[in-house]
Amino acid sequence: MRDVVRVVEVGPRDGLQNEKAQVPTATKIALIDRLSACGFPVVEATSFVSPKWVPQLADAEDVLAGITRREGVAYPVLVPNDKGLARAMAMGERHIAVFTAASDAFNLKNTNIDVDGSLARLEPVVEQARAAGVSVRGYVSTVLGCPYQGAVPVRDVVRVAGALHAMGCDEISLGDTIGVGTPAKAREMLLACAQVVPMPQLAVHFHDTYGQALANVLTCLEAGVRVVDSAVGGLGGCPYAKGASGNLATEDLLYMLEGLGLETGVDRDAVTRTALWIGEALGRRPASKLAAVALANGAAD
């Protein structure tokens, strides 16, 4: 039997939303199209949050209208509330994501509402989406630490993950927003969440601030998870967490998964070329080992 890991590419949304300089709409469209051609089952495209708070993604409608959609590829969009959902549905989107955090302090800084208030605000959004036949992914931030609160009790993560699952979210992504997690803590958190959300409906999302992301993924794979989020070239970071580096680089993740004999259906070389391309477009080198090796070997697009 094939052992398959579904890699969710989040670079176009979670990565580009934190860029200091405005990224041209054409570059965003080209990035998504390149990633689609790599074989990903999911490429998170953009976000319908307020342009006031995330100006980098103010062109969400234009991006979605411009991409070339491939059969078998989902292009979910992040929505924070009913207004975001209305924008997404007006574009005909069939896959959305909602987000909250396990920390009251983070939620208050990020969305001006505590955890319970955030969940209450999301419930009608999820209900409306599900009634329209739209799939919903739920993100839980700060699952291994909060930049304002510090340690986050595992029970708080479990409570939030369970609440999103009870609302009807098809999948719950557990995010180490500031990258402070280590393997033992990551495994403990995942297994605790699996007591209230079936493991096949859980995903992990690690940032690489302390170089622990691949180790955290490995221990979670051993615990049974088979959905992993990552961003091409290690794009991203957390605007609310000083010093938090980017997401786990997709090309580095793919290298490890291949070495473990796990299938993804994604072309690693094509992803690495895409990492080099977007790095050049953004004026910097991609934050991944594979891209560094490719550059040292004179790789070109």
Write out the catalytic residue numbers: 238
208 vs 11, 47, 79, 236, 240, CA distance in Å? 14, 23, 25, 10, 16
- What single DSSP character describes residue 75? -
What torsion, rounded to 10 degrees, do the Cα atoms 221, 222, 224, 226 define? 20
Strand ranges in 217-280 using DSSP code E only, listed in sequence order:
227-230
Do 13 and 45 touch, CB atoms closer than 8 A?
A: yes
244 vs 101, 200, 238, CA distance in Å? 16, 28, 6
Tokens of 14: 């979670």
Do 126 and 168 touch, CB atoms closer than 8 A?
A: yes
Do 115 and 100 touch, CB atoms closer than 8 A?
A: yes
Do 276 and 299 touch, CB atoms closer than 8 A?
A: yes
Q: Which of 79, 102, 98, 101 is nearest to 155 (CA)?
A: 102
How many other CB atoms are there within 10 angstroms of residue 96's CB atom?
23
Could you give the CA distance from residue 178 to residue 146 in angstroms, rounded to a whole number?
7
